[in-house]
Structure 1
Amino acid sequence: MDSDRSQSTEKKESIQYKESTGHALTTIPTSVTLSPEQFETLYLTPMTRRQPKFAKRVGNPTPLALGGFVITTTPISCCLMAWRGASGNGVAFIGPIVFLGGLLLLITSILEFILGNTFPCVVFGTIGGFWFAFAATMIPAFNAAAPYSALTTDTVTGLSSAGFMNTYAFLFITMAVLMLIFMICATRTNIVYTLIFLTLLVVFLLLSSAYWLLGEENVAAGNKCVKGAGASLFVASLLGFYLLIVQLFEAMGFPFHLPVGDLGAFWDRSLQNRGIPDIEESAAVGQK
């Protein structure tokens, strides 16, 4: 009897050992491989994973910024190209610049911050701030350009003075450097985003050149640069319209997806060839 009990006890212990060993050897998947289409979708919509519960119930704020962007840039580009006799370099659009360009982009930047989207937050916040600053320069109450006039009180005359143009061109140069940084970062997303920042880079470079040429009283060359900046800005607005359509179609659940040229897949292949883990693998390791 004692031998039988000891044998049964040994069998139970061996079975338990095997079960525990089997559980210890069980592998649990820690990473998920995404297709290029899924990767593209993640970059076109807010990253709501690991966010508070309310973040999953809100919509995608990016189309709001794109709407404000295209409504502002399209008429300004037409003005810079002097279509239908338009002039003033955007003075007539102070209202839209403030409430459609600056305000909508600033609101979107805050919403992107709440959702944890760093890159869109920085992009919309800085461009929205630029629109506010650009409008404030043309508003007489801010007294930004008036001191450059002969009477030091005329904003319109000050905006066209050589001193003002030679000084204000440095802001356009700084914005061009910022657009270059954004363009490099956008190569991790898609072709449309990258082209938008490329065209904006050209816009600010041409505007800075135009202001310096006009400051030297080289009116012919300066006006050509202004028109070139308007044409480049018009292309940026068309790309913005296209991206807005893509986002709204995605939000409304249309049964088809317009291409935006996903660039994330190329980066993933390059990283994998170098033995560097991709974004999904890094995130999975961080969650362990």
Structure 2
Amino acid sequence: MSGVKENETMGSKPVEAAMKPGAHLANPAPLALGGFATTLLSVSLAMMNFRGVFAQTIFIGDLCFVAGIGLLISAQWEMVRGNTFSYTVLSAYAFFYGGYGVIMIPALGIVDAYGGYTPEYHNALGFFVLLWAVFNLFFLLASCAVNIVYILLFLTLELCLCFDAASSFAMADGLVETSANLMTAAGAFAFVSSLLGYYCVFNGLCQEAVPFSIPMGDTSRVWKRWCKKTTSQNSKSEKDMA
């Protein structure tokens, strides 16, 4: 009996692997998260005015190519593998990074269209970043069903975007010192978020290259139990009302 069960189990693995979409493809997450983290870390240092660097123009290559194109290509792999959450996140931030990089390209004249760094420009940039903070909020909520590291990553990223938008609005109002302080805070949260991104890269590579794994703080079981409990309570309440 035990021999039959072992054969059935061993024989079922190739079938399951064949049925799973994109099971034969390599995991694109380490490359995507590496590009995400490297670009965010570079920008965060400028946001904190580290070593006197304030202008982010030098990072256009990272924003448009490493993060923009890199994340977009990786997202297609996640789509084939059937990972909706990863596909959505990577695609969204590929476009965000790429769009943010395009804004800073002098030859396109986007800043000149506002007459330079005017209050209108800073308000427009604030709206751009703030609405991405709204979009990121959905990723933060969805990450609650994944793991603690993802929750912290999207939480720090959310705070970064909010402080960044607030900095632009403060600059539009002429509050230069306040704007600088808010930008520093945004850079600090971006710095932490990038380190969490590198942690995720290490986790992804460990699964493939080394015989051990690092903890991510899986929350899927807790989330499922909570959802199940909430659903049962709602059903009971509806029956009592009926």
What's the TM-score once normalised by structure 1's chain length?
Answer: 0.72
- Matches of 1:125 and 1:106, distance apart in 2: 5
**Deviation of 1:164 (Å):** 0.3
Counterpart of 2:145 (choices 184, 188, 192) is 188
What are the ranges of 5 or more consecutive residues in structure 2 without an aligned counterpart?
Answer: 1-15, 233-242
- Matches of 1:202 and 1:272, distance apart in 2: 30
**Deviation of 1:98 (Å):** 1.0
The amino acid across from 1:109 in the alignment is A
- Matches of 2:229 and 2:28, distance apart in 1: 35
Q: Secondary structure at the match of 1:223?
A: helix
The answer as to 2:79 corresponding to 1:123 is: no
How is 1:227-246 mapped onto 2 (pairs within 5 angstroms)? 227-246=184-203
- Matches of 1:264 and 1:206, distance apart in 2: 30
The amino acid across from 1:65 in the alignment is A
Counterpart of 1:263 (choices 207, 219, 228) is 219
The answer as to 2:135 corresponding to 1:135 is: no
Q: Which has the larger radius of gyration?
A: 1
Are the counterparts in 1 of residues 163 and 183 from structure 2 also a CA contact under 8 Å?
Answer: yes
- Matches of 2:18 and 2:89, distance apart in 1: 21
**Deviation of 1:82 (Å):** 0.7
RMSD: 1.7
- Matches of 1:267 and 1:237, distance apart in 2: 25
Question: 1:50 — aligned with what?
Answer: 19
- Matches of 2:157 and 2:73, distance apart in 1: 21
Counterpart of 1:75 (choices 26, 30, 42) is 42
What do the CA deviations read for 1:19-41 (whole angstroms, capped 9, x no partner)? xxxxxxxxxxxxxxxxxxxxxxx
- Matches of 2:39 and 2:53, distance apart in 1: 15
Q: Secondary structure at the match of 1:184?
A: helix
In structure 2, relative to structure 1, the CA distance for the partners of 1:99 and 1:50 (3 Å cut) is: same
What's the TM-score once normalised by structure 2's chain length?
Answer: 0.85
The answer as to 2:172 corresponding to 1:215 is: yes
The amino acid across from 2:201 in the alignment is L
Are the counterparts in 2 of residues 48 and 115 from structure 1 also a CA contact under 8 Å?
Answer: no
**Deviation of 1:57 (Å):** 2.1
What are the ranges of 5 or more consecutive residues in structure 1 without an aligned counterpart?
Answer: 1-46, 150-157, 277-288
Percentage identity across paired residues of the two chains: 32
- Matches of 1:267 and 1:128, distance apart in 2: 28
**Deviation of 1:56 (Å):** 2.4
Question: 1:174 — aligned with what?
Answer: 131
The amino acid across from 1:258 in the alignment is I
**Deviation of 1:256 (Å):** 2.2
**Deviation of 1:272 (Å):** 4.3
- Matches of 1:63 and 1:223, distance apart in 2: 33
The amino acid across from 1:116 in the alignment is G
